[in-house]
Amino acid sequence: MKLFLNLVFLIFAHIAHSQPLFEGAGEREDWLGTYYKGKKMGFTKSKTRWSPEGIVMDSTVFFKIRSKSIDQSTIIKHKTRLSPDLKLSSFSLLQEISGHRQQVEGKMEGNELHYRTKSLGYDKEKTVKFTEKTVPSSTFLINLVSEGLKVGQRGELRLFMEPLQLMVDLEYKILRQETLQYEGKSIDTFVIRQRFSGMETMIWVSHDGTVYRESTNMGFESFKERPQVAQKIDEAMTLSSVITMSLVKPNKPVPRPKNTYDLVYRIHPVSSPEAIPEDHRQKIIKVEKQEDGNYITTLRIKSEPKKMDRTGQKKDETEQDPKYLEETAEVQSRHKMIQALARELSADGKSKWQLAKDINLWVHLNLKKEMVDTVTALDALLEKRGECQSHTYLFTALTRASGIPTRIVNGLVYSKEYEGFLYHAWPEVFVGEWKAMDPTFGQDRVDATHIKLTENSNESPFHLMEFVGKIAISWSEP
């Protein structure tokens, strides 16, 4: 459920903001207020300094969020240094959510970016290669503005997403010129459409690079404002309101969701026939192309069977992929506390399937079900509370520490409380075959209301954006 809110953080953490045309030396500061469906939830401050030695941009993104009496506010601080020819020199990024921190620092050496990621119990260095078209997501608008803007201009850039430390391809097109009103003045702007990994944004930018408005296809908008106006947030957005706004109401309630074993769904609009994955539980029955180019996908989803399928199994190469056993900044499977608990839970020499069930039960019983983001597996273990993502991270860390390949799934699950489908995360383990489990609900076999939309990939959050705020669901019995 909190996964949806994390996606919001990522959207605004990497959208570039007001940039000047760079001549001589100088600096400027710009502010934008951020809104979701008309309700203010945060702001962005961007300060840019330039000289013949290069450009330095400091930005701060803030979201005021509350879960009951718990402050869930998030702040993201980002500094990027560019060389005089507008190439990345170095960057630093600090993300803080409810007191939990993750820091990333990177420096270019030739055509390689060497970066280091640090969070509680995790400290690792990695390297990624840049091409001539690779630019950091925090400052890519500088590159566009510096080349001059004209209607009809289009192109592609390879973006390095600093918050996620991954590469995505950005397509952009300058659609038109449009006049906006700002503080009683008429401002001529270019309207730029951007698309990447299922996400579409529109930016209204003036000739000097100032951003006056941004909007996304998920209902979020930002507007240029004076500092005192941008920072004025009358009331924190609550997680319950975010959940309600992201809820997908089906054609009728599901009467007994946790005891539902076989359902047929119609989901639309879907961007392509391959947008929704198939696996051992969910099979696509039909795909219908619509006049607008989107699709209606009909799929049948079953709960996990009670018994393991020991006959006729095909060799599944996916369990050999090392990423299903790797340690990450969120899943610290090699930390001594995680390792010690994994050894304790596996002490009886049980089968991997029995061990996975024991870990699932332990996580379910030992973590309080609270709408707070504990960010990583180690945070969840120390604080003993969290939402679906916290449960899934801790489960995954423990199973990977025990040598059980595990992947993280993002999708939808039915909530009887809200009478609709909520965005949710759960794990799948490979124990001779892939099995989907849910430590948040304490299910050793997930029910048929778990609709998988993405699976273990760094790009999963962006793929999920293809669905958030856009789809409708109807269901029936087979």
Contacting residues for 377 by C-beta, under 8 A, at least 6 apart: 330, 331, 332, 333, 338, 393, 394, 396, 397, 398
Does residue 22 sit in the same domain as residue 92?
yes
Q: Is the distance from CB of 352 to CB of 428 less than 8 angstroms?
A: no
H or E element: which one contains 368?
A: strand 368-369
Residue 151 lies in a domain: yes
Does residue 135 sit in the same domain as residue 278?
no
Does residue 223 sit in the same domain as residue 251?
no
Q: What is the percent of the chain where pLDDT is above 90?
A: 60
C-alpha closest to that of 245 among 275, 208, 220: 220
Average pLDDT over residues 154-183: 91
pLDDT for residue 17: 46
Q: What is the spatial distance between Cα 214 and Cα 193, in angstroms, rounded to a whole number?
A: 10
Strands 122-129 and 112-119 come out as antiparallel
Q: Could you tell me the pLDDT band of residue 244, with boundaries at 50, 70 and 90?
A: confident
Does residue 96 sit in the same domain as residue 190?
yes
pLDDT for residue 21: 61
Does residue 227 sit in the same domain as residue 280?
no
Question: The CATH number of the domain where 425 resides is what?
Answer: 3.10.620.30
Residue 19, pLDDT > 60, answer: no
Residue 46 lies in a domain: yes
Residue 348 lies in a domain: yes
pLDDT for residue 18: 46
Residue 130 lies in a domain: yes
Domain end position, chosen among 206, 237, 268: 237
pLDDT for residue 223: 94
Residue 315 lies in a domain: no
Q: What is the spatial distance between Cα 122 and Cα 99, in angstroms, rounded to a whole number?
A: 16
Does residue 180 sit in the same domain as residue 222?
yes
Does residue 165 sit in the same domain as residue 256?
no
Tokens of 442: 């304490």
Q: What is the pLDDT of residues 144-159, one digit of tens each?
A: 888 888 999 999 989 8
- Report which DSSP code applies to 290: -
Residue 31, pLDDT > 90, answer: yes
- Report which DSSP code applies to 305: P
Sheet of 295-302: strands edge to edge?
A: 282-289, 295-302, 262-270, 472-476
Q: Identify the three-state secondary structure at position 336.
A: helix
Average pLDDT over residues 319-344: 91
Q: What is the spatial distance between Cα 474 and Cα 249, in angstroms, rounded to a whole number?
A: 9
pLDDT for residue 16: 45
Q: What is the pLDDT of residues 181-232, one digit of tens each?
A: 999 999 999 999 998 766 788 999 998 888 999 998 777 899 999 999 999 9
Q: Which pTM value belongs to this model?
A: 0.88
Residue 318 lies in a domain: no
Domain end position, chosen among 221, 237, 253: 237
In a 13 Å sphere around the CA of 404, the CA atoms on its Cβ side amount to 32
Does residue 216 sit in the same domain as residue 250?
no
Does residue 192 sit in the same domain as residue 253?
no
Q: Which residue has the tokens 């799948």?
A: 428
Q: Is the distance from CB of 341 to CB of 381 less than 8 angstroms?
A: yes
Q: What is the spatial distance between Cα 396 and Cα 392, in angstroms, rounded to a whole number?
A: 6
3-state secondary structure 412-478: EEEECCCCEEEEEEEEEEECCCEEECECCCCECCCCCCCEEEEECCCCHHHHHCCCCCCCEEEEECC
Q: Could you tell me the pLDDT band of residue 3, with boundaries at 50, 70 and 90?
A: very low
Q: What is the pLDDT of residues 85-144, one digit of tens each?
A: 999 999 999 988 877 888 999 999 999 999 999 988 899 999 999 998 899 988 888 888
Q: What is the pLDDT of residues 363-396, one digit of tens each?
A: 999 999 887 777 799 999 999 998 898 999 999 9
Provide the number of structural domains found in the chain: 2
Domain end position, chosen among 185, 209, 237: 237
pLDDT for residue 452: 96
Q: Which residue has the tokens 């996908």?
A: 297
Q: Which residue has the tokens 């793929």?
A: 463
- For the chain, the residue count is 478
Q: What is the pLDDT of residues 299-330, one digit of tens each?
A: 999 999 877 765 444 455 555 688 899 999 89
Exposed e or buried b per residue across 385-423, where buried means at least 16 C-beta atoms within 10 angstroms of its C-beta:
bbbbbbbbbbbbbbbbbbebbbbbbbbbbbbeeeebbbb
Please name every residue paired with 229 in a beta bridge, in sequence order, or none if there are none.
Answer: none
Residue-number span of the structural domain to which 105 is assigned? 2-237
- Report which DSSP code applies to 248: B
Does residue 219 sit in the same domain as residue 251?
no
Q: Could you tell me the pLDDT band of residue 12, with boundaries at 50, 70 and 90?
A: low
Residue 8, pLDDT > 70, answer: no
Q: What is the percent of the chain where pLDDT is above 70?
A: 90
Q: What is the largest CA-CA distance in the chain?
A: 74
From residue 386, give the alpha-carbon distance in Å to each of 336, 370, 389: 21, 5, 8
Does residue 142 sit in the same domain as residue 260?
no
Calculate the average pLDDT of the chain.
87
Average pLDDT over residues 434-440: 96
Does residue 381 sit in the same domain as residue 451?
yes
Distance from first CA to last CA of the chain, Å, rounded? 28
Contacting residues for 127 by C-beta, under 8 A, at least 6 apart: 112, 113, 114, 115
From residue 256, give the alpha-carbon distance in Å to each of 220, 253, 261, 419: 34, 9, 10, 11
